[in-house]
Amino acid sequence: MPKHTKTRRVPKDKSSGLPKKYLSGTSGAKRKELADVLARISKLYKEGKRIPQSLIRRRMELGKK
């Protein structure tokens, strides 16, 4: 029987717990704010609620390099 390959864990940001991939290109206060915005979007999505366009726009602004 063949061995199963182990799936690699995604590197996470220490302070927010989000994958580093989503916070790349930002640092300091901007990074913290982006993490907060992502957490809010995630919470709304999980609850099945509508995500406001302003929140999506804010995420795009913060994520730009």
Q: How many domains does the chain have?
A: 1
Q: Within a domain: residue 42?
A: yes
Q: Within a domain: residue 3?
A: no
Q: Within a domain: residue 1?
A: no
Residue with tokens 């994520």: 63
The predicted model gives 9-29 an average pLDDT of 92
Q: Within a domain: residue 15?
A: no
Domain that includes residue 44, residue range: 29-63
The confidence band for 36, taking pLDDT boundaries of 50, 70 and 90, is very high
Segment (H or E) for 55? helix 53-63
Q: What are phi and psi of 58, to 5 degrees?
A: -65, -40
User: In the prediction, which pLDDT does 65 show?
Assistant: 60
What average pLDDT does the structure give for the chain? 91
Q: Within a domain: residue 34?
A: yes
pTM for the structure as a whole: 0.81
Q: What are phi and psi of 2, to 5 degrees?
A: -70, 150
User: Dihedral sign, CA of 19, 21, 23, 26?
Assistant: positive
Within its chain, how far is the Cα of 54 from the centroid?
17
User: In the prediction, which pLDDT does 57 show?
Assistant: 95
Q: Within a domain: residue 8?
A: no
Q: Within a domain: residue 20?
A: no
The predicted model gives 34-56 an average pLDDT of 96
